[in-house]
Chain A
Amino acid sequence: MAAGPVVKKVMDAYKGKVRLVIKNYPYRYRDYSRNAAEASLAAREQGKYWEMHDLLIKNSPKFERASLISYAKELGLDVKKFTESIDTQKFKLEIDADLKLATDMDLYNTPTFYINGRQVVGERPFEYFKKIIDEELKTRK
């Protein structure tokens, strides 16, 4: 899972104070999760990573080829280029590197967050993030 709405709320509430970095960890339902990761990076190549990220979360788990192509169309991407990218698994190495990192760190669930290195496993309410972020902002002043 990806904690879409909560993370969005965090980014809005702490605009300019928080940087969000995404790592792909398609460990369950391997093929479909991998398709989604490929699609997100294919969209990134065309400057629409976050738009695709949001669409994928919204439409999860409809990640078969035709659906992904329809999302690319919806975002106005170069569909031919996008399709080539997902068909050839253009970003396989990047996804593999993220997977290896997650495996090395012994992750067992998604989403897993690291907030200034502090591990948060699973979906949590906004208030949970708020508490940690406020503590971090306090200690860094």
Chain B
Amino acid sequence: MKKPAVVAVLLLLVALSSPAAEKRFTVPIGNSPSTGPENAPVMIIEFIDFQ
């Protein structure tokens, strides 16, 4: 493989693995059950089916 091609692939890999490029979803909390402080720096929303 030629060098520019290798560089391009590496750049693509870096871009894909970068957390900054990751999509962030907006999920409305509504009146759902919750635990932990309301102003916590990290919020985890879990969709479950108990099965």
Contacts and interface: CB of A to CB of B under 8 A. Distances in A.
Give chain B's interface residue range (CB within 8 Å of chain A): 20 to 34
Interface of B: 19, 22-38, 40-51
Interface of A: 1-3, 7, 10-11, 14, 16-29, 32-33, 36-37, 40-41, 44, 49-50, 53, 56-57, 60-61, 63, 94, 97-98, 101-102, 105, 107, 110-119, 133, 135-137, 140
B48 A115 contact: no
Contacts of B34: 19-22
Given A16-B36, A56-B50, A117-B26, 14 more contacts: A19-B36, A19-B37, A20-B34, A20-B36, A21-B32, A22-B34, A32-B51, A33-B50, A63-B50, A102-B47, A111-B48, A112-B46, A113-B47, A115-B42
